[in-house]
Amino acid sequence: MARLDLHTHSTCSDGTKPPEWVVRQAADNGVELIALTDHDTLAGIQAAWDAARHAGIDLIAGVEISVNDPDIGELHVLGYFAPDAPLEELERQLTVYREERKSRARRTVDRLQALGMPIEYESVVRIAGRASIGRPHIARALVEDGYVESVQEAFDRYLRNGGPAHVPRTLLSLSDSLDMIHRSGGFSSLAHPTRYDDPIGASQAFAAAGGQGLEIYYRNDSPDEIANGEQLAQRLGLLPTVGSDFHGLHPSELGPGTVPMPEHQAARIVQTLKDLSP
């Protein structure tokens, strides 16, 4: 089994560890290639590249973007890029997304206050630091102020999709996001298909819109889920990818670079990513 990790997060979005730590830990776990895929930002890529060079492993620039499909709903798309790819258009859209995240966070805090939990927006900003603000930062504020015991409880009780404090996002369409990634010379993969209500429908919509990969080897997915995903990817003409989706939010979370991928599948995606051109 090969060790790759094409889905990780750092303190530049909603992870708890800086990019350098994520890369070093992945290297310690035997990773040969890692991608930093923070939500809606490329801010950690340079630090991750420096750490990867020092650790003697390869790194690919990445990002995770939340998008909308009219039939399926919210999906998460991973984009991977060559070192010198023209990312100006992507950067502009990500800036819009980050501003929208701030507005959403304020509205979420307002809802929590109305529910009897008067956390302060300034506390969320402090916890996020320079990162793109997300729900995990709000969850950590709820833990800090004693309203819940864990980040998971905050999501389960209040912040999950459809929860009492959930505020929907304004998102790009699936097709527009894929066009933007591909115009920048990038490779697109659908993140964690097993986590959607309709994994097959989500994967089919992604393939029909021009998507290229499917995250088959994903943290705690079962052998049956992986086998079904492999068959689905082959049927849809999508290239399997692998990711821990590391955030460092939960004690039981798998570390970066700990999700195995069969050698023959790893060789395919590694070659595809190495062939990306600006």
Query: What string of H, E and C letters represents the secondary structure of the chain?
Result: CEEEECCECCCCCCCCCCHHHHHHHHHHCCCCEEEECCECCCCCHHHHHHHHHHHCCEEEEEEEEEEEECCCEEEEEEEEECCCCCCHHHHHHHHHHHHHHHHHHHHHHHHHHHCCCCCCHHHHHHHHCCCCCCHHHHHHHHHHCCCCCCHHHHHHHHHCCCCCCCCCCCCEEHHHHHHHHHHCCCEEEECCHHHCCCHHHHHHHHHHCCCCEEEEEECCCCHHHHHHHHHHHHHHCCEEEEECCECCCCCCCCCCCCCEECHHHHHHHHHHHHCCCC
- Per the listing, tokens 């404090």 go with 165
Q: What pLDDT is attached to residue 50?
A: 97
Q: What pLDDT is attached to residue 83?
A: 86
Q: What pLDDT is attached to residue 186?
A: 96
Q: What pLDDT is attached to residue 169?
A: 84
Q: How far apart are CA 49 and CA 28, in angstroms?
A: 16
User: What is the model's pTM?
Assistant: 0.87
For residue 263 the two structure tokens come to 């050698």
Q: What pLDDT is attached to residue 130?
A: 81
CA proximity to 18, closest of 257, 246, 270:
246
Domains of the chain, earliest start first: 2-86+174-274 (3.20.20.140), 95-159 (1.10.150.650)
Neighbour count for residue 19 (Cβ, 10 Å): 26
Over the stretch 123-154, which tens digit does the pLDDT of each residue have?
A: 999 999 888 888 999 999 999 999 999 999 99
Question: Which residues in the chain land under pLDDT 50?
Answer: none
Which amino acid is located at 267 in the chain? A
